[in-house]
Structure 1
């Protein structure tokens, strides 16, 4: 298939597999910034624009470029591929023979639009295309070339989802000041009606499934239709994100997934009678798969154990594909047949030299914050502790770490960083602080997070107390590091408590709070960011650097900027390696342990 051996930093994303599996469409190149520039970390003289490509899966055919654009989608019969390019929806005809892609037609403009277009969805018969444009849902008829906009006066519509017969669209509707609701649009009569609305209070604001956990794919549906006219959706009615169903004819919602814990993502079986979902119900710190019928009844566990599973993908004949990862093995695709027997797919290949036997299994822990609230985390205890310790707050903040490799690439890198620091004798506490996910509504929406209040910092200080109580931790040899929101917490921690944190490593953090309290930031700090960061303005790093140079001209401060790199600094392997190797060594070099293992 597609092979790009050079470390050129050109991103691949938005993979979309044809319905019969004969081809993969994808996007090569990043989205443009506000100046129209795509990411170009190698400073190539002729940088690539964001382009849609297609490649057959039958072996050695070279990828075929289709032109600028993004969000490619195959029609149900695989005879058409559509994608968005600027203010146009493009289309290319696909010719097949014996299940193999033989010809790709010349791309043409299907229709043009104003504003922004997202979540394109073909009708089951492939004759219509539903999508969200701005705050409206529209349907384009490929046969007549006409467009129908679902009436939405005073409302905001999103997430269109086709009924199995293609006669109706379910969509989410939000009206200011009212709880969110599910509406149905009849394509024949062009009439709409509300079939369900959330209660006031908890759950009145939509909190959807994470149907694009890797951030690199195209998001799946939020409203999932059964074969007999039930619609499944996520709702926080009881303070946890659970799956519910409601009849398309209207009625009360029925809970499908009870228990303390949340559903993170979900998929339909091919016969549309069951849902397979990823959840932490019953194992708070991990993800496992379970299945439940639209008709209700007790959910059935599909996976379990001390590893985590995600991205359930039902296949034919009761077969299920999913991703499995542990503390010692990176993510790999597993296929489970209808009898429960599992096999590991041939790709991706984990090299035989991968040092899984050198990694340690983190312990799931919880501990009180300084205000008594419960915080969570993963504890890395070295085989031979040397007294140093590290506090790691994840980014987000609407995220959570796992006691192993993660579904988000950057979080797997950060997990590896924690393993590396532990291999050098440091006890590492990865803190899942308030504001994060999978611990319920009250935890996720805790008051006072962010800004200068930073109530989540109480969880960090609770982690400090937790570590200080350990006999293998020297309280005078503690450090802190993090990425993004974690970088914000790291710099804030140094500003408020350089007496606790002797050194810090801040990757692409937000620094308003740290600048406000800059007089307290006396510990050594390494600051790293890409200068084409689309998540955190590069000015944040410059502001902190200027404040440090003004208030602490004799302090130890290292700043590194990566040209044309993004927020996570991972577009080239070399940038990724330099970032974490230099950051880890900066931390270790400032934690004075004479017996620490050397590289």
Structure 2
């Protein structure tokens, strides 16, 4: 279609990616971006095209089971509404006084909503912004700005808060009975999510039963239909994890070892569950028995869309499931396939205009050995031909995230594919700390961040140079979030890169702990409780902070940051820029108003693209303005 990297990036930015896909039998609903909001669409598994529900601005579509009635959420500070799927008429509306982050709808129209108080911080998966708050001045008090459970009934007037004491609720599940299963923490900030507990809450105000705590993170709590058992995922940063099974009558907890890197699951009936997750750079799914036995498991070279960008499925009857599917040759679309065997057929064509966008780009799966003998995997996007090509290394965030077999890798402002079209060999490494290789691989970064994982990344770059496809004199590195940190850290360790681009990165781990919305949680996990209140802790953190090693940097470094980012605050970028500038480093800081942890406004995304290509061209990595 086009070999122009800027035009390709513009096309990628125009993609309309369905999200929050839900099903009730053969009825499917999902949200689709449209302008500044989204439009709910409905689709039948039996056939036919997706039909927009007239109107706009709704998210979180949910079916009332077995009725064909559709609920959704409108407004920044949410209103739960029932929509007529054919006309879009709002049949009733219920304000709940906060941002609705999840809706659980049981038979008969009973609703349990998870609602974030105005002014609450969102995590990095949700752009690291704050929930809207019109109050002036802003007043923060410890233990306030919670995420609460609110109970309501479809069509009835009024909602009732579930009394949970001073706990914030990160996720919950409910089958319509008197109790809900919830992942909670005492700390209401996103940092509290790193110190979770699983509880069973009496919705009528009775006792809250503590079920388990763990040094890791918990997600996707799921009650069995009869309410006697529960499952929950346990993992690092809960990008993916292993399954814990709880017998609620005996209190016994069992860790199922049959599958790892699970991102979502649910009960099909009291005897079976479905699951999905990462597998290497691809995905997996299948069916489990209620004792953890794997009944069916499939893997696929592609990616599944879902909540927080993690793989998810929505079983829709007759052994089928619906999801958002993409692979290196197919842009993301709503797709249907067999739950037990995988293999998805697209049912929408919202992104047909992207067909052929990657023509001329070769994709390769890579594996290499790090200096300590660990096998590391990754992906390579490069032009056709033999090179030599300039080499651009893009490091993903997390660190417990991954580069997957998607149509166009999205992190770092969707620059992977455009840079390959600009003539570069683009290395997407999954060093230790990444998901897709099991919990041992993910946890191998703990206490060794910035050392072992950087060695993994550099070994991947050496592999490409050794294969004579990459030009050793034209190397660059970039990344977002933790990838931004590792980029800034890399240029303090080596002068091999001619240019670097730091997006939403961390410059100072001591300041991060105090200022970040996840500080005190995230860092306690990854830094092995290095406490900045002690001399030893400060020394450990400073020794791994780029800010304190600016004098060693010779690589021209571009710093890009969202002004409203609460995960890696803009102060991180400002201090890093000042330290690099004072040390004589060629550097530039670009701050984007209204943006959080990732850029979303089209003008800002385009500006960051042009600055990235321009920076790499000016410093001799790319040639002729981004073409070779």
TM-score (norm 1): 0.72
Select the residue among 175, 181, 205 that pairs with 2:215. 205
Provide Cα deviations, 1:157-189, integer angstroms capped at 9, x if missing partner: 6533213x5243223466899996644345579
CA distance in 2 between partners of 1:17 and 1:279 (Å): 17
Distance 1:181 1:528 in 2: 36
Q: How many equivalent residue pairs?
A: 530
Aligned position for 1:416? 417
Shift of 1:432: 1.9
Distance 2:217 2:363 in 1: 32
The aligned counterpart of 1:64 is: 55
Q: CA deviation at 1:488?
A: 2.3
Bigger fraction of residues in helix: 2
- Structure 2 match to 1:580: 609
- 2:106 aligned with 1:126, yes or no? no
Determine if contact 1:56/1:63 at 8 Å carries over to the other structure: no
Distance 2:472 2:216 in 1: 43
Contact preservation (8 Å) 2:562, 2:597: yes
Alignment of 1:356-371 (within 5 A): 356-369=358-371
Is 2:147–2:168's contact at 8 Å kept on the other side of the alignment? yes
Alpha-carbon distance, 1:483 to partner: 2.2
Q: CA deviation at 1:319?
A: 1.5
Q: Please state if 1:159 is matched with 2:171.
A: yes
**Alpha-carbon spacing, 1:595–1:241, altered in 2? closer, same or farther (3 Å):** same
Alpha-carbon deviation of 1:256? 4.5
Consecutive unaligned residues of structure 2, counting only runs of 5 or more, are 1-9, 44-48, 117-144, 305-310, 509-544
Tell me the equivalent position of 2:475. 478
- Going from structure 1 to structure 2, the CA distance change for 1:536 and 1:12 (only over 3 Å counts) comes to farther
SS of 2:318 mapped into structure 1: helix
Within the candidate set 420, 430, 433, 1:432 is matched to 430
Unaligned ranges ≥5, structure 1? 30-47, 199-203, 210-220
CA spacing shift, 1:598–1:141, aligned 2, 3 Å: closer
Offset of 1:233 from its aligned partner?
1.8
Is contact 1:307-1:326 (8 Å) kept? yes
Give, in angstroms, the shift of residue 315 of structure 1: 0.8
- Residue 488 in 1 paired to residue 485 in 2? yes
> Equivalences for 1:204-353 in 2 at 5 Å?
204-209=214-219, 221-226=220-225, 229-235=228-234, 241-256=241-256, 258-259=258-259, 261-269=260-268, 271=269, 273-280=271-278, 283-304=279-300, 306-309=301-304, 310-337=311-338, 342-351=344-353
8 Å contact kept, 2:368–2:460:
no
Deviations 1:408-465 (A, max 9, x none): 74368243145335xx2x4433222333333444443433356xx6553333343344
Contact 2:258 2:293 in 1 (8 A): no
Q: 1:90 to 1:456 in 2, by over 3 A?
A: same
Task: Give CA-to-partner distance per residue, 1:461-505, whole Å, 9 cap, x none.
Answer: 43344445433444333221222322222222223322x112222
> In 2, Cα distance between the equivalents of 1:432 and 1:415?
14
Report the TM-score, using the length of structure 2 for normalisation: 0.69
SS at match of 1:325: strand
Q: CA deviation at 1:300?
A: 0.9
Which of the pair has the greater relative contact order for Cα pairs under 8 Å at 6+ separation? 2
CA contact (8 A) 2:55 2:88 kept: no
Task: Give the corresponding residue for 2:79.
Answer: 90
Taking the aligned partners of 2:76 and 2:332, their CA distance within structure 1 comes to 35
What displacement does 1:400 show? 0.8
Of stretches 480-489 and 542-551 in structure 1, the one that deviates more from structure 2 is 542-551
Please name the residue that 1:43 is paired with: none
| Other structure's SS at 1:299 match | strand
Provide the aligned C-alpha RMSD in A: 4.7
What is the aligned partner in structure 2 of residue 516 from structure 1? 548
Counterpart of 1:216?
A: none
CA distance in 1, matches of 2:426, 2:50: 44
